[in-house]
Amino acid sequence: MNKESTINFVNTYWDENIIPNLSKFINIPCKSMPFDPAWQENKYLDQAAHLIADWAKAQNIEGLVADVVTLENCAPSLFIDIPGQIDKTVLFYGHIDKMPESEGWDAGLEPWKAVLRGENLFGRGSVDDGYPPYLAIAAIKALREQKIAHPRCVIFLESGEECGSPYFDQYLDHFKNRIGAPGLIVFPDSDADKERLLSTNSLRGLVDGVLSVEVLKSGVHSGTASGIVPSTFRILRQLLDRIEDQNTGAILIESANVVIPQFYRDKAKEVAAVYGNSIYENLSMLEGCQPVNGDLVELILNSTWRPTLCVIGAEGLPTLQDAGNVLRACTKVRLSLRLPPGVNAASVIEEVKQKLESNPPYGAHVKAEFSPSSHSGWCAKEDDAIKFDNLLSEIAKIYYPKGFLSSGVGGGIGPVTSLAKVYPEAQIWITGLLLPESGAHGPNECLHIPTAKKLTCCLAHLLQEYFNE
């Protein structure tokens, strides 16, 4: 590949072909199903899938097939098949469903209106996760522009990643014969750096559920009941202490803890050396607040290889304005328990459920119910990771001023585990365009266009090089 020709083509292609259509995608309020109860009637997910399919067909790639497929009782999916000149297959994953609007967008910005401001394209779905099909097709076009052979490429977009991918396995089974046996699977739905090519070498799993504590048929005046009837909030605190050390945050679930491999400890040291205190400073902590540990390597391992618990929602608590003197009948909280890579989510659920529900204080009615969105994490095989990272490092030197870095990520992508299980011989590459300021899931979501262009160039180079290794 000629570097300058690749850069010039990719820059022009993004500006003239991708940004206008990606902007149309941003303008569609195709929220993930739980956030749009009328999604079947609104058909925004269908609209988004057809928009991308029609754009792909218009790119004049010989043999390209783009099918919007909707299985019974499922949200739609998009399957794009692009023939290649190398007898190998690369599978690209992405999703077209989006998170809800969120509050706090800056003046002139809003979730369902694409706004190009400086080097950023703002709007919901810009960086999570509208760009993968555009990224893949741009890389293929860059190769074809220079008459360079590439492998067959399959792009598989689902509509449920933001709610746990409930239909993914059904679609994977449906498309399995069409996909074939991919040698490389690319997930462009992870972190990025403007000056380095980033590769994600591990993802945490997730156990998501609701813990409910009930003691009364209905609320009672607190002056009458307190001291006689136990508070559901106090019981809740006791129950949470069964699974989390309140002083350290350590998770007290045996099946949720692992010995961290030295390979990944070394990777955490590399990341700490590169980013320093920005590891926590980029998280918008208030002035005077401190991270849970002063050791940067331990902070990285906490967020990538150790289980952690967050209470992310609650019911049964009235607003402060409406809070009367009532001993409440029930308290419910939504728990988000992150799991180390490789830990079996089902085993953790079984242990957590037993610890929370057995012998409840005061005979309270306690129930722990877990979501189907719970999933296990993933990590790269060490030998494969070393070889693949070496290749990516060489490619990164061409396009990024500070080269390459491999790191773990604290979040998860459920379909990674499914695809790794179905295609155990495939190399998995997780990368993306999520910068600290990208605003995914929050206000001011944006795609940094120069970084998208650099990643496209690297992807084109990888499609040329990988199967020649």
Q: What is the pLDDT of residues 195-211, one digit of tens each?
A: 999 999 999 999 999 99
pLDDT in tens, 410-445: 999 989 999 999 999 999 999 999 999 999 999 999
Using the 3D structure, point to which of 370, 402, 423 is the last residue of a domain.
370
pLDDT (0 to 100) of residue 284: 85
Mean pLDDT confidence for 455-464: 97
User: 271, 266, 269, 245: which is closest to 256 by C-alpha?
Assistant: 245
Same domain? 107 vs 59: yes
Total domains in the chain come to 2
Same domain, 299 and 383: no
Percent of the chain with pLDDT strictly greater than 90: 97
Check residue 52 and give its pLDDT. 98
CATH of residue 12's domain is 3.40.630.10
Domain identity same for 217 and 361: yes
In this prediction, residue 373 carries a pLDDT of: 81
The 10s digit of each residue's pLDDT in 234-269 is: 999 999 999 999 999 999 999 999 999 999 999 999
Residue 111: predicted pLDDT: 98
pLDDT of residue 116: 98
Give yes or no: residues 348 and 428 share one domain: no
Last residue of a domain, one of 339, 370, 401: 370
Residues 39 and 56 in one domain: yes
235 and 188 housed in the same domain: no
Q: Rounded to whole angstroms, how far apart are CA atoms 342 and 102?
A: 32
318, 350, 370 - which closes a domain: 370
Kindly report each contact of residues 349-352 with a partner whose C-beta sits within 8 Å and lies 24 or more positions away, as own/partner.
349/207, 349/209, 349/374, 350/255, 351/253, 351/254, 351/255, 351/256, 352/207, 352/209, 352/243, 352/253, 352/256
Question: Are residues 85 and 152 located together in one domain of the fold?
Answer: yes
Q: How many whole angstroms separate alpha carbon 202 and alpha carbon 427?
A: 13
320 in the same domain as 236: yes
Task: Tokens 């969120």: give the residue.
Answer: 102
Average pLDDT over residues 97-107: 96
Residues 196, 114, single domain; the answer is yes
Q: What is residue 354's predicted lDDT score, i.e. its pLDDT?
A: 98
**339 and 198 in one domain?**
no
Q: Is the predicted pLDDT of residue 4 greater than 70, yes or no?
A: yes
* Domain span holding position 262: 205-370
Q: What is the overall mean pLDDT for the chain?
A: 96
* Residue 324: Cβ-neighbour burial (10 angstroms; 0-12, 13-18, 19+): exposed
Give yes or no: residues 301 and 319 share one domain: yes
Q: Is the pLDDT of residue 372 over 90?
A: no
CATH of the domain at 298: 3.30.70.360
pLDDT in tens, 114-166: 999 999 999 999 999 999 999 999 999 999 999 999 999 999 999 999 998 99
Say whether pLDDT at 304 is over 70: yes
Pick from 148, 91, 14: nearest CA to 455: 14
The per-residue pLDDT for 468 is 82
* Alpha carbon distance 385, 382 (integer Å): 5
Overall average pLDDT of the 84-113 stretch: 97
Q: Please, what is the end-to-end C-alpha distance for the chain in angstroms?
A: 16
**pLDDT given at position 386:** 93
Dump pLDDT digits (tens) for 6-54: 999 999 999 999 999 999 999 999 999 999 999 999 999 999 999 999 9
pLDDT grade for 370, boundaries at 50, 70 and 90: very high
Query: Is residue 357 domain-shared with residue 235, that is, in the same domain?
Result: yes
Say if residue 469's pLDDT is above 70.
Answer: no
pLDDT for position 157: 98
CB 97 within 8 Å of CB 25: no
